Each structure stands twice: as C-alpha cells, then as structure tokens.
Amino acid sequence: MSEIDGKVVVITGASSGIGEATALLLAERGAKVVLGARGSDRLEALASRVAAAGGEAAYARTDVKRRQDLSSLVGLAIERHGKLDVLVSNAGVAPISLLDELRVEDWEEMIDVNLKGVLYGIAAALPIFRGQGFGHFVNVISIAGIQIRPTMAVYAGTKNAVRTITEGLRQEAGDKLRVTSVSPGFVHTNLADSMTNPEVKSQITGQMDKMAIPPAAVARAIAFAIEQPAGVDVNEIVIRPTSQA
C-alpha cells in the first residue's frame, strides 16, 4: 500500500499547472485532496476529474492573499476528513520586470502571493499539525531563488524569503513534523500569464516552449517527498530541465 493512500492533502494554486498535476497524481495514489485556487470553475472541473477517476476531492475558492481563505481551506479538510496530513503551498505569480520600470504594484502582488500566502498557510496548518502530532509542509519555491537574474530581483527575493522561512520552519518543527522545499526550473505552466511586461513575457514563454518540463514531473517529486515513511524528511528537491543552465 502506498504511503500516500488515505492522506489528506491541501493544495493551493490547484486549478492549473503544478497544483493540478499534483492533485491528480496524489488522488490517483489514494490521497484525499482539498483544492484551493482563485478560479472556482477550474476547481470544480478538476474535482470532477478526480471523482470520475475514483478519487476524492473537495475544493474552495481561495485567494492566498487573504489569511481567512487559507484558514477556511484548512478548515474544510478538517471538517471533511478530521485531519490534515500535508499542506502543499504552490500558489505563485511572477510579474517580473527590471527594477527601473518601478512596477511597484507587481512587486506588492509577488510579496502578497508568493511570500505572505505561504506564511498564511503555515499559520493555518501549524496549530493543526501540532495538535495532531504529525504533518508535512511542502513549499513549492523556484530555482529563481537560487540563480538570481535580471528582471527577477523581486520574484527571486520572495522565493529566497520562502526558502529561508522553510528552513527555519524545518529547524523548529521538531521530530513530529516534516518540511520540504521543491524548487522547479522551467515548467510548462500558465505562470507567464501573470507577467505584465510584454517583452519579458514573450521571452519567458519562448524559453518555456524550448525546454520546459511538464508539471507532472514536479508532481512526482512532490509525491516522492510525501510517500516517504514518517521518520524520513526529504528537505530539498531541485528539479529542472536537463538543458537548463
């Protein structure tokens, strides 16, 4: 029997890309998935796909910029299943640009979604995990937090902040909780849709088309961390296209 079977997994940013692929894979392996994203129609369609394949899914419209939305999503998992095994914090945006462009609203959006959204998830799930005596945080970060490049200063800053928080959380977690960071490189997702600079968006989309790996590859990495026995904590996974420098 899979170590994933029967686990209750909350996933943010679940309506597309890595979140969607993770939901489908984990449900296939027997997890009960609880899905959060801003697009209710896509969430409903995904939950229907999971159910049609014999899995179990619940969902709630979730904007990770709102702390109450994260609390409600975690609460939905507890209400339906009486426990929470894993929180996959996957929601993210990337309206990258040169700092000289002063796209301050884009900076704020990245801070609110990429950084504060993860913190709100921790705030919602950590008391539950402590009370249960078990739990697993999986934070989807980015190799942008490892390789800093022009146009990505603020985006990489948010990802580096999440990397730091994740490691701090791991050190504070004790011997009952697990903490994993997953840092993907180029992945075929709709992340470019959040980019407001047309030139940068075109460049990133072109690079994705040339080398990006499918979201399912990242989903398998997430599943690998989750399926380990309780005493095994996979702390960091970096996954990227073979051709990506």
Are the C-beta atoms of residues 94 and 192 closer than 8 Å to each other? yes
Q: What Å distances lie between residue 186 and 95, 182, 217, CA to CA? A: 15, 13, 11
Relative to beta strand 236-239, strand 86-89 is unpaired
Cα 127 from Cα 69, distance rounded (Å): 16
Q: Has 59 been annotated as catalytic?
A: no
Cβ neighbors of 38 (< 8 A, separation 6 or more) are 15, 61, 62, 63
Q: Mind giving me the DSSP string for 143-174?
A: GGGTS--TT-HHHHHHHHHHHHHHHHHHHHHT
Residue 231's SS3 state is coil
Closest CA to 186 of 4, 14, 18, 15: 18
Calculate ∠ Cα 85-189-217, nearest 5°: 55
Find the catalytic residue in 155, 181, 182, 184.
Answer: 155
Residues in the chain: 245
Q: What are phi and psi of 242, to 5 degrees?
A: -55, -35
Cα 184 from Cα 196, distance rounded (Å): 22
Q: How many CB atoms lie within 10 A of CB 210?
A: 11
Active site residues: 155
